Amino acid sequence: MEAVLSHLRSAIERGEYPVGDKLPAEAALSTEFEVSRSVVREALRGLQALGLTESRTGRGTFVVATGPSEDPSFGEYSARDLFEVRRHVEIPVAGYAALRHDDADLDELWHLVARMDAETDDATWVALDSLFHITIARASGNPAFAKVIEEIREALAAQSSFLNKLGDRREQSNAEHRRIVAAIAERSEDRAVAEMTAHLGYVEQTLAGIVREGGAAR
């Protein structure tokens, strides 16, 4: 997927596909790159997230810009929308979870990080990632926080999948998740806040690197 997206992105940026042009159909791209149509579909979603293309129902995928947007979109929310909400919700929520969680919350969080460490399927890992963040919100003891995270759940999943494929984030995310849970287990509000702040910072840094350079910031 990364190779297909990189090739198509470069072709668009070089002007091989000018603004207004329609990209080849999925089947043609699948044959050209010798990959499955699902891989092509993921690459096309990536181009759309970067703001280079748009999908028009029944017509295909069209080029709408010669360079990536500084604020990629994931479903109905932009990356900026997600980062602003997450910084103002998930960071304090981690602190509340450290203070208010019960044994069942902690058992569920440890269970989730263990499953994510062992998971090999990308789609399943992304679903577990969303559930992990919702579980922390529930552990805060304030149901309104969980509602907020659930509202943006699909966009978070789309962003997570995008970052995993282009930014190689899974292993690093697993380590960051474990540090967050460890802080919550210690009932350390300050450490939980610091670990969630670092986690979201790495996510934002990785996305910025993809937009800027076509790859993860290292």
Predicted local distance difference test score (pLDDT) of residue 191: 98
Predicted local distance difference test score (pLDDT) of residue 210: 87
From 206, 138, 208, select the one nearest 171 (Cα to Cα): 206
Class of the CATH-defined domain 73-213: mainly alpha
What's 19's DSSP letter?
Answer: T
Predicted local distance difference test score (pLDDT) of residue 216: 40
User: Topology of domain 2-63, per CATH?
Assistant: Arc Repressor Mutant, subunit A (1.10.10)
For the entire predicted model, the pTM comes to 0.81
112 with 135: CB under 8 angstroms?
yes
Predicted local distance difference test score (pLDDT) of residue 133: 97
**185 phi/psi in degrees, rounded to 5:** -60, -35
- Would you list the domain boundaries of the chain? 2-63, 73-213
Predicted local distance difference test score (pLDDT) of residue 69: 84
Q: Which residues of the chain have pLDDT under 70?
A: 213-218
Name the 3-class secondary structure at 22. strand
Tell me the per-residue pLDDT of 147-177, one tens digit each, with 9 for 90 and over.
999 999 999 999 998 888 787 889 999 999 9
What's 77's DSSP letter?
Answer: E
**Sequence-ordered list of residues with C-beta below 8 angstroms from that of 3, at least 6 positions apart, any chain:** 33
Distance CA 106, CA 181 (A): 8
Distance CA 12, CA 18 (A): 7
